[in-house]
Amino acid sequence: MSSASNHTPPSGLAAWLTSETPHSRGHAKCVQLYLGWLSLARNPLAMLGLAIVLILIAAALLAPWIAPYDPISQDLHRRLLPPGTDGNLLGTDELGRDILSRLLYGSRITLYVVALVVVTAPVAGLIVGTVAGYAGGWLDVVLMRLTDIFLAFPRLVLALAFVAALGPGIENAVLAIALTSWPPYARIARAETLTIRNSDFISAIRLQGATAPRIVIGHVMPLCLSSVIVRVTLDMAGIILTAAGLGFLGLGAQPPQPEWGAMISTGRMFILDQWWVAAMPGLAIFTVSLGFNLLGDGLRDALDPRAGR
Amino acid sequence: MPESSETALLIEHLDVRFGKGDGAVHAVRDVSVTVKRGETFGLVGESGSGKSTVLRAISGLAKDWTGRIAVDGTDLGKARDKAFYEKVQMVFQDPYGSLHPRHTVDRTLGEPGRIHGITDVGARIESILRDVGLGPEFRFRFPHQLSGGQRQRVAIARALMLEPKILLLDEPTSALDVSVQAEILNLLQRLKREFGLTYILVSHDLAVIAHMCDRLAVMNSGRVVEELTADQLRRAEPTDRYTKQLLTASLGYNRATADSLLTFD
Amino acid sequence: MTAPLLEVDGLSVRFPSRNRVVEAVRNISFSVGREKVGIVGESGSGKTMTGRSVLGLIRPPGIVTARKMMFDGIDLLALSEKQMRDIRGNRISMVMQDPKFSLNPVMTVGKQIDEAYRVHSGASARDAKLRTLEMLEAVRIRDPERVYNAYPHEVSGGMGQRIMIAMMLVPEPDLLIADEPTSALDVTVQMQVLAIVDDLVSQRGMGLMFISHDLNLVASFCDRVVIMYGGQIVETCKAADLHNAQHPYTRGLLASLPRVDRPVDQLSTLVREESWKLEPGVDARIL
C-alpha cells in the first residue's frame, strides 16, 4: 500500500494522541477524537467536502476584507459585464454590482441559515426521539404522532404560510425550515433508542439507581448523536436549497441582501444573454451542497461504531 | 429454611409474567428460596427455565411479579430506592454488551459514585480497579480496547463501586474462554472472601455451579424442581429425574444417553 | 489405508491491515477421514478461519495459501468460484454458530430446506417436502408441520440451530464442517443433535470437522482432536487420550475447567508462554 512508506512509529504528539493507555479523561477524549479524525482523513472525498465547508466558513468570516466591492453598491455604467472583466472577476449583475462580492457576502447568509437550522431542528429531534423511545407507552405514542403530523407538512408550503403570516425575511424562512425538518431526526433517534434501551449497559446503569433523564442524556443521546450528525450533514444540501428556493420566490432574504437564491431569481431574466448572473450563485449553491454531502458520507463511515478500528 | 437474621435474601411464592392476555408468558411459577448471608446460591437450568428472570425480578428489571421478595428482612416493592441499589448489584452475561461503548472505564465506574454522591470517586475507582486485578493504566480506556475477560472485570468493579452486600451474577462467564472463565471465577471467590459478599449465581453450567456454590436450586419451565447442596450434586445424589438427566448430559457426550433423554414440560 | 476425505497441507490465512499482517492461521496440516475430528481452541486461535478456508469463504483482503488442499480427489485450490459453489452446500456443508444470520428471514423454514434438497437431488416438490419433514423430525423438532410453515423469526434460537443442521444435512454431504454448532443449545438438546450427526458419520461414512471451544464435549464426542493455539496446531491426539495430553497449553486448558465431581478450592489458571507461538507446530494428518 502506498501509505505504508510514511507510517513511521509515532513519536511526540502523535504518540500521545494514539496512546493505548491514556492518563486522564481529557487525554482519552483527545485520543478518541484523533482516531476518528484519522479514519475520516483516509477518505479523500470527505476531505474535499470538509475543504469546501471550511472555505465557505472562511469566506463568510472574511467577506469584508476579501470582497473587492460593496455587495449592494450599484454602478449602472458597469452593468451586466461578463466574467473576467477587469476588476470584476465573475462579472456584474443587472445593477452593476460585483457578483464575486455578492457571493462572498451571500455565504454569510447561507451559513447563518445553516447554523440556525443546525442548533434547532436536530436538537429538537434528538430530544423528542430519545424521550419517546426510552419512555415508551403513551408518551411515545403522543410524541410520534406529533412527529408524523409535522412530517406530513410539505416544507415549502409551510414556509410559504409562515412567511405569509409573519412577513418575509430570513429568520421566518429559517423558522419554517426548522419546523419541518426535525421529524426525521426524531425518527432516527427513536429507532436508535429502541435498540439501545434494552441493552445490558442500560440495565446496568438503571441498577445503579440512575434516573430516567440521566440515562437519556448521559447514556442514550451520545449513541444517537452520530447518526443524527450524519443525517444533518446530508440534509444540509436540502436546507440550503430550501433557503435558496424561498429566496428565489422572494420570500426569504429581501433585496438588496445578496442571498444566493434571490440572486438566481433576478438572474433568471437575463439567463439567455447574460448567463453568469444566474449561473454563478447556482454554482455556489451546487458546490456547497456537494461539500456538505461529501462530508456527511465520510462522517457516516468514520462515526459508525460498527466499522471498528 | 425459616427466615432468620442470617437471611440475606428471601423469596416466597414468586410468580413472574410477561405480556398480557393470550400471549402472556408465565416465566416463573411459585418459586421460593432462601439465601443465607455469605452464601453462594446457584440457580441452574436450561434456557427458558426462568432462572435469569428470577434475578431480573430481584433486581427490579422485571416489574410484573407477585409474591414476596425481601432483602435483609425488608420487603421490596415494585419501585426500588437508592438504598436497595447500594445493597444489591448485578453482573451481566455478555461483557461486550454490558459496558457503554462510548464511555471510558473511568466514566463507567464513576457513574454509580456520582449518582449516589460518593465523595472522592477517583480514589475509589483506583482501588476497585486494583481489587479486580486491573492496573491504573486501564482507567481511561474504552471497552473496545479491552478483552472479554478485562471487560467482565470492569463490569464486576462497577457492581462493587457501591459496596453492595449481595451480587446477582447472571451467567458471568458463559461468554468467555475457559481459561478466562477460571480467572473470573477465582476473582469472584476472592472478592467474596474480602468483601463478605453473598452471591446468587445463575448458570446453565453444572460444573461452574458445583464449583462456586454452597447450595443450588434446579429450575425447569419456571419452577424449582429440586433444591440441593453442592455436596449432594457432586456425589451425584439428586432425586429428581430432571436434575439427574441434566447431570448426565453435562458429563459429556454419550450415544446411549442421547437416546434415553426425556422431554420435561 | 485409502486417501483421507480431506487433506490440508501447509494452510495459512493472513489478513494484511494498514501497518501489519495478521496471521490468523499459520502453516497447519491436517486431514479428515470418515470420522469425527474435533478442532479445539480459544477465541483467536484460528479454528474458525481454518473451517472457513476449506470452503473458500475467506473474503478479501484475507489471503489463503496452502501447499495442498484435496477433497476426495478434487484439488480445492484449483477450483473456480463457480465450481466451489457446486461443492459448497452439496458435498461439503457448514453449520455456523448463529443460525439467525444464516436463514433467509423472508422465506419459510420449510421452503429453505426444500430448496437445499431439490437443488441437490432434483426431487419433486412433494418428495422434497416429505424429506424435509423427515429431517425436521430427525433433529428432534416436535411439531415439524408447524415449523415447516414458520418464518425464521418465529422460532427460538435452539430451534433455529436445529433447523440449520437439518438444512445442512438434507443434501447428505460427504463432509460437514460444524463451527460451534451446539454452543447455543441446552446440554440435553445438544446431545440429541450430536447423536444425529454421530449416526450420519457412523452409518453413512460422512466426515465431520467439529470446531469447538468445549474440551469435554470434544473429548467425549469426537474420534480425534486437534488443538489450536495462536493459529497453529500445538497438539493432536485420539479424543480418548485427551486427558493425558502433553502440551502445556492443552494441559492448562484442561486444568482450568471446573469439574462437577472434583471440587477444588481454586481453579488453576493458564499461564501462556511466548515460546508456544515460536514452536513449529504439529502435523495432524493421518494418511
DSSP string, B192-261: HHHHT-EEEEEES-HHHHHHH-SEEEEEETTEEEEEEEHHHHHTT---SHHHHHHHHHHT---HHHHHH-
DSSP characters over C178-231: EESTTTTS-HHHHHHHHHHHHHHHHHH--EEEEEES-HHHHHHH-SEEEEEETT
Report the percentage of chain C scoring pLDDT > 90. Answer: 15
Q: What part of A 201-230 touches B (C-beta under 8 Å)?
A: 201, 203-210, 214, 218-219, 222-223
The greatest distance separating any two alpha carbons of chain C, rounded to the nearest whole angstrom, comes to 61
Euclidean distance between CA atoms B50 and B66, whole angstroms: 15
Backbone torsions φ then ψ of B70, nearest 5 degrees: -130, 135
pLDDT of residue A190: 94
The greatest distance separating any two alpha carbons of chain B, rounded to the nearest whole angstrom, comes to 61
Length of chain B: 265
Q: Find which of A52-56, A180-184, C113-117 is predicted with most confidence, using mean pLDDT.
A: A52-56
Euclidean distance between CA atoms B97 and B106, whole angstroms: 17
Contacts of B99 in chain A (CB under 8 A): 201
Backbone torsions φ then ψ of C152, nearest 5 degrees: -50, -35
Q: What is the CA radius of gyration of chain B?
A: 19
Q: What is the mean pLDDT of residues C191-213?
A: 87
Chain A nearest CA to B102, separation (Å): 7
Q: Which domains does chain A have, with CATH numbers?
A: 1-42 (no CATH), 46-307 (1.10.3720.10)
Q: What is the CA radius of gyration of chain A?
A: 23
**A199, B115, C170 from B160: Cα distances, Å:** 20, 14, 51
- What are the start-end ranges of the E strands in A39-137? none
CB-based contact, B140 to chain A, within 8 Å: yes
* ipTM of predicted assembly, 2 dp: 0.87
Euclidean distance between CA atoms B47 and B221, whole angstroms: 9
Please, which residues bridge with residue A160 across strands? none
- Which of A200, A205, A304 is best to mutate for the B interface (most B CBs within 10 A)? A200
Pair B135, A228: CB distance under 8 Å: no
Report the percentage of chain A scoring pLDDT > 90. Answer: 24
pLDDT, one tens digit per residue, over B108-145 is: 999 998 898 888 888 999 999 999 999 888 888 888 88
Euclidean distance between CA atoms B98 and A23, whole angstroms: 24
pLDDT of residue A254: 77
Q: Which domains does chain B have, with CATH numbers?
A: 7-252 (3.40.50.300)
Euclidean distance between CA atoms C29 and C226, whole angstroms: 10
Indicate yes or no: CB of C191 within 8 angstroms of CB of B204. no
Selected from 3.40.220.10, 3.40.250.10, 3.40.50.300, 3.40.50.1100, the CATH number assigned to the domain covering C36-47+88-279 reads 3.40.50.300
DSSP characters over A112-140: HHHHHHHHHHHHHHHHHHHHHHHH-HHHH
Grade residue B167 by pLDDT with cuts at 50, 70 and 90. Answer: very high
Q: What is the mean pLDDT of residues C213-222?
A: 89
Sorted by where each begins, the domain ranges of chain C are 36-47+88-279
CB-based contact, A306 to chain B, within 8 Å: no
**Nearest residue to A97 via CA among A309, A284, A258, A294:** A258
Check pLDDT > 80 for residue C52. yes
- β-pair type (C21-32, C36-40): unpaired
Euclidean distance between CA atoms C173 and C209, whole angstroms: 12
Q: What part of C 157-216 touches B (C-beta under 8 Å)?
A: 157-158, 186-192, 194-195, 198, 213, 215-216
CA B157 from centroid of its chain's CA atoms: 15
Touching subunits of A (3+ CB pairs, under 8 Å) are: B, C
The letter for the amino acid at C98 is: D
Element housing B181 (H / E): helix B178-195
Question: pLDDT higher for C192 or C47?
Answer: C47
Q: What is the mean pLDDT of residues B55-62?
A: 91
Helices A99-135 and A137-152: angle between axes, nearest 10 degrees: 150
